[in-house]
Amino acid sequence: MEKVIKIEGGHRLSGTVTISGSKNATVALIPACVLANQPVTIYGVPNISDVRSLMVLLQELNVDVKEVEPGTLYIDPRNMKNIPMVSEAVTKLRASYYFMGALLGKFGHAEIRMPGGCYLGPRPIDLHLKGFEALGAQIDYENGCYILHADELVGTNIFLDISSVGATINIMMAAVYAKGRTIIENAAREPEIIDIATLLNKMGARIHGMGTSTITIDGVQDLQGCSHEIIPDRIEAATYIIIGAAVGDDMRVENVIPQHLDAIIMKLKEIGIKMEVGSDFIHIFGQHDQLKPTEILTKPYPGFATDVQQPFSVLLTQAHGQSTVTETIYTERFKHCDELRKMGADIDVRIPSAFIHGKTSLYGTRVKATDLRCGAALVVAGLMAQGVTEIHDIYHIDRGYDDLDGKLKKLGAKLWREEVED
């Protein structure tokens, strides 16, 4: 038996939804906590399966981790043991690779299986490994495991060929204990990187320039415990804003940092969505005018986020004319288009672009979430469609969306979970 989400479409939504802590920040913050030599408390932790997988990994490392209250994690690494990370939990999420930088930085040694996660096309970790090697690590690959070792990590200048979020964070974590100064050039600038650097600086690290393309890390000898509140999830916020644009009459999205959403907000206004942008909220007034087609080009932050193009593509099926979405980061991020076509969408995929012809009506049917953001796109489509949409492989959705069912029901959506035959 398999559990699925069923959505009865055609209902208009209204009300207020509160955004949870950032999934993309959380999955790096949790491994970063093991760099401390005292307990760390994190607030605003989203209730998602990726967090539960990371808690399992911490327990395997003999780290004391507990949820002291909903959304608050207490992490005590004082009795931590640096054992090989080869369990099945490692393969369940890609973010397990952040333990490479954390363990290498703290112990000078790390053994870890090839990380898992959504398949979005080639996502090599060669930039991470090149950064570790530049700091002085020797890297071997045996029996599906990376083995990283350094008698001493020494600061150096590292230029990233691509401004990779994962590589920037991983190198930053490895460098906090390195001898001397490390400079990362062409560093990624995502808000999540600022959040991780802020946590590390609270512990006693000396990191400067986060949020710019040049990050400087001066190595220290000790990191202490601290408390830290996670930034709001800009991708979850974008998803609910798109839902409001698609099926909302009067929706307010709270606990957001609007500056993190500038590119998405500009595109929504461009196609004809009316909204009010406040200091920590976005109020969507509903779709009253004919939506205009547009062109989207995904780019690293502060450009249009690749994580948002899939749910945004669903909204573009309601624009009059042809819209183009070009994916410059993960070329495989078009699998949702096959599922949307089952629902009546007119989409022509010619990688690296998808051409969306609108306006088309969507109809409920059986579809599959091939990855996390494909799942989000299918939820948006299900809310818009006539009839009932049945979404399979919903474990992808649960990896990144905290209380999706409860938040949507509170807004007036009709959805439920059922067990069905595989």
What domains can you pick out in the chain, each with its CATH number?
2-20+232-420 (3.65.10.10), 23-229 (3.65.10.10)
- The one-letter code for the residue type at 79 is N
Residue 118 bears catalytic tag: yes
pLDDT at 225: 97
pLDDT at 124: 64
Looking at the DSSP assignment, which residues form a beta bridge with residue 94?
A: none
Looking at the DSSP assignment, which residues form a beta bridge with residue 282?
A: 253, 277
- The one-letter code for the residue type at 9 is G
* 145 has a pLDDT exceeding 70: yes
Nearest Cα neighbor of 357 from 325, 386, 316, 397 is 316
Is the CB of residue 30 less than 8 Å from the CB of residue 75? yes
* 83 has a pLDDT exceeding 80: yes
* 122 has a pLDDT exceeding 70: no
The whole-angstrom separation of Cα 332 and Cα 111 is 29
Pull the structure tokens for residue 344: 């009546």
Beta carbons within 10 angstroms of residue 320's beta carbon: 13
Beta carbons within 10 angstroms of residue 269's beta carbon: 12
Strands 321-326 and 295-297: parallel
Dihedral sign of CA atoms 407, 409, 410, 412 in order: positive
Mean pLDDT for all residues in the chain: 94
- Alpha carbon dihedral 294, 300, 302, 308, in 10-degree steps, equals 50
Is the CB of residue 173 less than 8 Å from the CB of residue 105? yes
**Residue 121 pLDDT level (bands cut at 50, 70, 90):** very low
pLDDT at 287: 64
Q: What percent of the chain has pLDDT over 70?
A: 97
> Could you report the per-residue pLDDT of 342-391, keeping only the tens digit for each?
999 999 999 999 999 999 999 999 999 999 999 999 999 999 999 999 99
Residue 232 DSSP symbol = B
Nearest Cα neighbor of 175 from 137, 119, 211 is 137
The whole-angstrom separation of Cα 113 and Cα 91 is 7
**Residue 288 pLDDT level (bands cut at 50, 70, 90):** low
- The one-letter code for the residue type at 71 is G
> Could you report the per-residue pLDDT of 394-422, keeping only the tens digit for each?
999 999 999 999 999 999 999 999 998 87
The whole-angstrom separation of Cα 35 and Cα 161 is 27
> Could you report the per-residue pLDDT of 183-228, keeping only the tens digit for each?
999 999 999 999 999 999 999 999 999 999 999 999 999 999 999 9
Average pLDDT, stretch 16-23? 98
Is the CB of residue 164 less than 8 Å from the CB of residue 122? no
Which pTM does this prediction carry?
Answer: 0.95
pLDDT at 283: 97
Looking at the DSSP assignment, which residues form a beta bridge with residue 75?
A: 40, 65
- Annotation: binding site for UDP-N-acetyl-alpha-D-glucosamine: 94, 123-127, 307, 329
The HSE-up count of residue 314 (CA atoms within 13 Å, CB side) is 33
The whole-angstrom separation of Cα 117 and Cα 93 is 4
- Token look-up 């990376």 returns 146
Pull the structure tokens for residue 255: 């606990």
Per the model's pLDDT, the better-predicted residue between 145 and 25 turns out to be: 25
The catalytic residue among 33, 118, 226, 337 is: 118
* 325 has a pLDDT exceeding 50: yes
Pull the structure tokens for residue 127: 């930039």
Q: In what order do the strands lie in the sheet with 157-159?
A: 157-159, 181-185, 214-218, 206-208
**In Å, what is the CA distance from 255 to each residue of 47, 234, 238, 418?**
16, 10, 12, 31
Q: Buried b / exposed e across 370-384, counting CB within 10 Å, b at 16+?
A: bbbbbbbbbbbbbbb
Per the model's pLDDT, the better-predicted residue between 123 and 341 turns out to be: 341
- The one-letter code for the residue type at 289 is D
Residue ranges with strand state E in 99-143: 109-113, 138-142
- Annotation: binding site for phosphoenolpyruvate: 23-24
- Annotation: binding site: 23-24, 94, 123-127, 307, 329
Q: Nearest-5° angle of CA 176, CA 301, CA 100?
A: 30
The whole-angstrom separation of Cα 63 and Cα 77 is 5
Q: How much of the chain is helix, strand and coil, in % rounded to 5?
A: 35, 30, 35
The whole-angstrom separation of Cα 368 and Cα 382 is 12
